[in-house]
Homo-oligomer: A and B are copies of this chain.
Amino acid sequence: MIKCVYPGSFDPITCGHLDVIERAAAMFYDVTVAVLVNKNKVPAFTVEQRMDFIRRSTKHLPGVKVDWFSGLLVDYMKSRGANVIIRGLRATADFEYEFQMAAMNARLAKDVETIFLMTDISHSFLRSSMDKELVAHGGKITGLVPPEIEEDVIKYFNR
């Protein structure tokens, strides 16, 4: 039985993230989107907001669960009985980093497998940080973040 975890910061979730979630949900019954809580970084949105954004963006995918974790991913995987890490790949630069992380995780937990899905090419240039910069300067983010959260993301940056 495959139990997948799709880990990330999701600060906020982008259309690229959603694309990966939809692909994973079409293949696997048990998919959890897990928000990483990193004490060393100041996120734009709280964990609760980020989880809420993911829930609203994936409400058409009833099987998808939303959760958060801190610490090592492989420890979180074990605590959930999960065995497959999902990661999206956009471009060469991604790959280098993902390769290092997957090799490290394979070393830490031999029974955990990482599988990579390719982001749809139209999302391949998206980064959460770009979205934030865009909104901060009044740029349109339609098509960059899921429509369900667009208004909230804009509101936040225009506080």
Which A residues form the contact surface with B (CB < 8 A)?
Answer: 2, 23, 26-27, 71-72, 74-75, 83-84, 89, 91-93, 95-97, 99-100, 102-104, 106-108, 113-118, 120-122, 124-125, 127, 130, 134, 137-140, 143
Contacts and interface: CB of A to CB of B under 8 A. Distances in A.
27 contacts: A23-B113, A27-B115, A71-B137, A72-B134, A72-B137, A75-B137, A75-B138, A89-B99, A91-B92, A91-B96, A91-B99, A92-B95, A93-B96, A93-B97, A99-B125, A100-B125, A103-B118, A103-B121, A103-B124, A106-B120, A108-B139, A108-B140, A115-B116, A115-B117, A121-B122, A121-B125, A122-B122
A3 to B, nearest CB: 11
A49 to B, nearest CB: 22
